[in-house]
Amino acid sequence: MATKYNIRVQYAVWVAVVVLGTVVSLTSVHLWRGIEQQEAAVRWLARHEARSLARVIGPSVASTNINTLLSLIEQSVHDEEVRYLRVLDSHDNVLYRPPSNEEPSRVVLVSEPIEVMDKKVGAVELGLGRRRMGQLLWATLLWDLGIGMVLLAVFVAGSFLISGPVQAGVSSLADYVRRVAKGEARGEKLESDLAEVDLAAQELTALMERVDEARRWLDRAQKEMKATQKEMDEYTYVISHDLKEPLRGMEAFSKFLAEGYRDKLDEEGRRHIDIIRKSVLRMQRLINDLLHFSRLSQQRQPMHPVGMNTMLMHVRVRLQHALDAKNVDLRVNKLPTIVCDETAMTEVFHNLISNAIKYNDKPHPVIEIGCTEKTNPETQQPEYEFFVRDNGMGIKKEYFDKIFQIFQRLQRDEEGTGIGLTIVRRVIEWHGGRIWLESEEGKGTTFYFTIPKRDIAKTGTVVEMTGATMKGTGSIAPTV
């Protein structure tokens, strides 16, 4: 994690960077100009030395008197900075060159003619060392750096003073935000000399007012929802008593007519009586399923670890008659223990398996139930992906979403009401999962649904059975 600094330190760092950058830039320019000036000064001094020496040794060079020339040079050249010297005649022959000459590239070299009576008789090449120039440049550098350090200290100290009010304003804003988060600053307004801090405080105050208004609206909505829920409970009571009571009467009298007066009615009359009875029974099932659906969210049980294989044993017992009637081969693989509402999850498997039995047109129906552990692509959290697969008649692709809607049925039958898969989807969604299907007409359907993997250790433990193969007419045997 990156290190956090307060405003004063950040101001000081930025000011130091700017000042140092400015000092380095100005020092570089100053040194560059100083180098040019110092080199020009050394060159002027070298030229002056060379001219003086040319005047002194002019007659000796003209007479080619070497001994006199050597003596005059020793008497005239006293500057220790003279690191290069050559005396040439008019034909550029070297008359004098000391053995200690340095390389021409390492000195400031000048060449001056030797003239006697306005006639050139030779030339003097003289080079001065750069030590003196280096000393001057080093002194300039130290001076510039000294000034830069003073400026740096002044500006950093100034940044601490200038950033003081900013830090105080931001600190007060942070403290205000903390108190707002704790609910301790209701009705309080923060005032600051800094316009930005003051504006942020105003925006935060306005936001808290909107949050309070939203909270009040939510409280009202919750009260209204509770009132609506109470009305729904009363509506449920009306359906379960007031509507079912006349149906019971209709069913009783239609049964009385069918049994007591069947011989007195003609074929058409008997058919009408049978239609009335079937319609009454269907209406009773529809009301019962609707009541069950409306109460589903109110009957949630606490979630706890449930062994899926054990639970499916109970589902099998409930569906034993239907399994035997069609000789269904129900295969259950090894399933995990999950944290769920056991009653609701039992309803999920009961509906999916009963649909797989009911809408299977094969002579040897097969239903397989399995599970794999995967990672949710959106939350990146682990989850269980269950499937219920059959080899039945299949479903057309355009009905994949429609079948989860309430009262939607793909086939008209006397038993179904079109609520079962709607209940399945609602249960899966309140468990935090997803449900979908894959199907091919004539080959079968596979329903998939996911349940988040929750920590069983925090909710208790349960004894889990091994996977089993369940057959409509057979016994339970471990799955290999």
Q: Which domain holds residue 82?
A: 1-183
Domain boundary among 155, 183, 211: 183
For 83, the enclosing helix (H) or strand (E) is: strand 82-89
In a domain, 30, yes or no: yes
Q: 120 pairs with which residues across the strands?
A: 115
> Angle at the Cα of 446 (from 443 to 447), degrees rounded to 5?
150
Looking at the structure, tell me whether residues 179 and 307 fall in a common domain: no
Mean pLDDT value across residues 198-226: 82
Give the contacts of 305 (CB within 8 A, at least 6 positions apart).
Answer: 337, 338, 339, 456, 459, 460, 461, 462
Looking at the structure, tell me whether residues 321 and 467 fall in a common domain: yes
Total tally of structural domains belonging to the chain: 2
CATH number for position 110: 3.30.450
User: Which tops the pLDDT comparison, 202 or 296?
Assistant: 202
In a domain, 270, yes or no: no
For 113, the enclosing helix (H) or strand (E) is: strand 108-116
Region of poorest pLDDT, from 122-126, 162-166, 328-332 = 162-166
- pLDDT tens column, 219-239: 998 888 878 777 776 776 666
CATH number for position 443: 3.30.565.10
Taking the C-alpha atoms of 273, 278, 283 and 285 in order, what is their torsion angle to the nearest 10 degrees? 150
Domain boundary among 167, 183, 199: 183
User: Which tops the pLDDT comparison, 388 or 136?
Assistant: 388
For 328, phi then psi, to 5°, come to: -80, 135
- pLDDT tens column, 38-76: 778 888 888 888 888 888 888 888 888 888 888 888 888
Looking at the structure, tell me whether residues 316 and 462 fall in a common domain: yes
In a domain, 249, yes or no: no
